[in-house]
A = this chain, B = another copy of it.
Amino acid sequence: MIKHALPVTREADFAAWYQSVIAEADMAEESGVRGCMVIRPWGYGIWERIQRLLDDRIKATGHENCYFPVFIPLSYFEQEAAHVEGFAKEMAVVTHHRLIADGKGGLVPDPEAKLEEPLVVRPTSETVIGHAFARWVQSWRDLPVLINQWANVVRWEMRTRMFLRTAEFLWQEGHTAHASAEEARAETLRMLEVYRDFAESDLALPVVAGEKPENERFPGAVATYSIEAMMQDGKALQAGTSHFLGTNFASAQNIRFQNNAGELELAHTTSWGVSTRTIGALIMVHGDDDGMRVPPRVAPWQVVIVPMLRDTPEDEALVTYCRELQQALARQSALGEPLRALLDLKPVKSTTKRWGWVKKGAPLVIEVGGRDMAAGNVSLIRRDRLYRADGKLDSVAMPRDALAAEAPALLEAVQQALYDEAAARLRTGITPASDWAAVAAHFAPEARNPGWLEVQWARPTGVALDAVVEKLKALKLTLRNAPIDQAPADGTCVFTDAPAVERVLVGRAY
């Protein structure tokens, strides 16, 4: 039996396994500040890769980056009723702008420095960006406005979990304004497609793109779309959302333009975001019982070279041998970018290093000992296939120069293998159910890893939808989305027995 590198397996306790990956891969840790985490270099390095790749896509679709204030005056929120209703319960509020000594050696907010109007730490920026749009947009010539920002936001969650649900998180939020509803809807779907392709191509994360049901809409939106990924425990994780806001925010914030005919019209707006939550998805989709496995496109280091140093005079030649490899690799291009190769010379035992990089999930780990060097070789470990069939570590000797030449192809193979593995799981994890009894049976308490069900429904609204949501809640289920790419409905609604109008996914979720 294989002795895995993590203290707990996915099978034994998925939630504990998730935390152990984060800890053992040095990705993040609790900060001591309630609900906030410290993102450590390996975790932040993945985020930097996500930023770079997604930012390129956001710019390629014509958007420009800006930066808006972290503080939003309370009055801005009050203008859009559904929006404030959705966020009021979880807002961090700044009330003072100075501290004074409390006379007991400590500090307290200075009562003389109380703000006239409290400021909210942004949970999302529609309101403050809408105010800017109202200044920027006068005529149809000013439209569309296509902007994005990379920022921290705060939502005061009661139960937090690293990456998945933290009081503060990092994200990008795109905000656009258009002259017509059609154009704004097209933008909403364009960015959904950008997210889908980014998730699949860059993160090796197969997803289902679809429309959220009414009860799952962003507060203030007319329509919300998401990409949903399936974790290894069968739960869903919403990995990106795109909202068509109609004229809701434009009318609250007075974003009006003079059209071609000289008449004043309300603009139509959208917003869309992807956050550090995505890193939680990467862990739960790609991680295994030996730790994280980072898809090569988003790996801070794609190839890590570990010389087996022994504190002897021979070490110097070994380091030179390894450095030549590192330099040969750095001259290569992999997956369309310069290859990122690290030579790890930290003063740490080489087996500790090996397992450190395995747990971090570097795609290729190259070990080089004196014997390898004598033979002109290196030993290669591919992180996506760590063990041989006999349970031994799959470390393969190969000529150093062949490795340098083949590394780009190997990285492509790892990226593809991670995607294929996850895609197969998503494909087999979604099954159809045609009546409520089948739904209830599928999600019986003893069912392990039930995945999602695709059901047909009549898309009820209002109180009828509330009843459906309650019914699902009793089984700990939620409506995920109605896939954009779906066959026409041809049955009856599993909730109401009315004729179905579309297919919708049902599952447990993070």
Contact = CB atoms under 8 A, between A and B. Distances in A.
Interface of A: 29, 31-33, 36-41, 44-45, 47-48, 64-75, 77-78, 84, 88-100, 105-109, 118-121, 128, 131-132, 135, 141, 147, 151-152, 154, 156, 167-168, 170, 347-348
A316 B148 CA distance: 31
Given A33-B128, A38-B66, A132-B31, A121 B118 contact: no
B98 A95 contact: no
Contacts of A70: 36, 70, 121, 152, 154, 168
Given A141-B348, A347-B141, A33 B119 contact: yes
Given A38-B69, A39-B67, A66-B40, A97 B106 contact: no
13 contacts: A32-B128, A33-B69, A33-B73, A36-B70, A67-B170, A70-B121, A71-B92, A74-B106, A88-B100, A92-B96, A92-B97, A93-B96, A152-B152
Given A41-B66, A66-B38, A69-B31, A74 B99 contact: yes
A74 B72 CA distance: 22
Contacts of A67: 38-39, 44, 47, 170
A91 B95 contact: no
Contact of A156 (B78, B97, B120, B132): B97
A40 B65 CA distance: 8
A93 B88 contact: no
Contacts of A32: 73, 128, 131
Given A65-B44, A347-B141, A91 B84 contact: no
A66 B39 contact: yes
Contact of A64 (B45, B68, B69, B168): B45
Nearest to A121: B94
Nearest to A153: B70
A88 B100 CA distance: 7
A74 B104 CA distance: 14
Nearest to A77: B107
A156 B97 CA distance: 6
B74 A107 contact: yes
Contact of A41 (B48, B106, B147): B147
B97 A94 contact: no
Of listed A68, A93, A154, A170, residue having the most chain B CB within 10 A: A93
A168 B109 contact: no
A136 to B, nearest CB: 9
A32 B253 CA distance: 13
A65 B40 CA distance: 8
Given A32-B131, A33-B73, 19 more contacts: A29-B132, A36-B69, A36-B70, A36-B71, A39-B66, A39-B67, A41-B64, A41-B147, A45-B65, A47-B67, A67-B170, A71-B168, A77-B107, A88-B99, A89-B98, A89-B99, A91-B97, A93-B96, A151-B152
B66 A78 contact: no
A105 B81 CA distance: 10
Of listed A44, A75, A106, residue having the most chain B CB within 10 A: A44
Contacts of A89: 98-99
Contacts of A106: 74-75, 78
A87 to B, nearest CB: 9
- 3 closest cross-chain pairs (CB), A and B: A36-B69, A41-B64, A39-B67
